[in-house]
Amino acid sequence: MQIKDDVIHWLLEDDNPPIRYLTLTKLLNHTETASEVRHTRARFMEYNVTQRILRHSREFWESDDRAYWKYTGKYWQLIFLGQFMADGKDPRIAEGTHDILKKRKWVMKSGGQCLTASLLTALRCLGYGGHPVVTEETEALAKRIVTDRGIKCSAMVCSLLPHCYMAVPKILLLFAEIPAHKRSANITLAIALLVKILLENEIYVYVPSTRKEWRKILDKAPKRADLPEGETVKNWMIKQKAAFLDSHDAGARIAKPGWVNFGFPLHYNSDILEAMYAMALLETPMTPQLKRPLEIIRDKMTPDGRWLMENSLNGKMWVDVEEKGKPSKWITYFALFVQNHFKMEQS
């Protein structure tokens, strides 16, 4: 697609070095050795959002009891700093990162693949891709997905879906950080499996149509004290889910409304743009199932060739990222990269 010159100039402005770098390398195909690219990389830590997050570094690195807190705990800050392409060797980042690598409290036996994947992606973006913990846990995650034939999570007891769906793009983003020639057999299999899952659901059409009926049953869940001795609320839900699925047709899948509103950064959930960006990074070929998602992305482009920040964590993070409802350099870059990859013609 033809990108308007003024949009390129806007993305190349100095206020957002990460976006300037991505525009140079991903949209304009400049090499890593180009002087302009090297100069821009050297300025990543000047990004205002990164600087403002690090003003709170002592508060979040020392918050072990609040490590998981959305969206101010230390795990979330590591994820955000990775997404903003910060320098992982900066002393304000390195000390906390080494502690996270050492303790591995973020690796869970049941569920939690969304957080694990996002942290592993961040660690790779921060320059720790060769660390043994990162390589070991990435491989373990891939093996787990292949064995389970999807993302198995204890939280899915409340869902009619057999596996977690919203974490699929997060895990694909992790695997996209690994060059194709360095991907293990398990990682390659996991990528194929997760891409297939996305395609089967046209990216965002994955919600069971019977979810409202199922929700009515969940709303009647008893309290632990009201159950027979030895029974748990979780076991009650498992039995109810099995009975519901036995008595109801699987039903059609319907679209997930929230996935058509684009935002960055995101939390556990995802959206069409993030999923399509992950698949573009993995060089997924165009298929008929991607036509509608690409049309949605295209139709959200403003007359001046930009995309808006529709979904935002502003007011929840330590700092705000751009402005909700306004043109977003992050969203615009993602949309342009996706459309360039899938060669979506503009009407």
Query: Can you give the pLDDT at residue 250?
Result: 65
CATH number of 5-209+252-342: 1.50.10
- CA 289 to CA 291: how far, in whole Å? 6
- Domain extents for the chain? 5-209+252-342, 210-251
- CA 65 to CA 61: how far, in whole Å? 10
Query: Can you give the pLDDT at residue 252?
Result: 87
Lookup: tokens for 335 = 């949309």
- CA 290 to CA 292: how far, in whole Å? 6
Query: Can you give the pLDDT at residue 110?
Result: 59
* Single-letter code of the amino acid located at 278: A
Query: Can you give the pLDDT at residue 346?
Result: 39
Query: Can you give the pLDDT at residue 177?
Result: 98
pLDDT beneath 50: ranges in the chain: 345-347
Query: Can you give the pLDDT at residue 344?
Result: 54
Query: Can you give the pLDDT at residue 155?
Result: 85
Q: pTM score > 0.85 for this model?
A: yes
User: Cα-flanking dihedrals φ and ψ of residue 311, to 5°?
Assistant: -125, 130
- CA 91 to CA 128: how far, in whole Å? 14
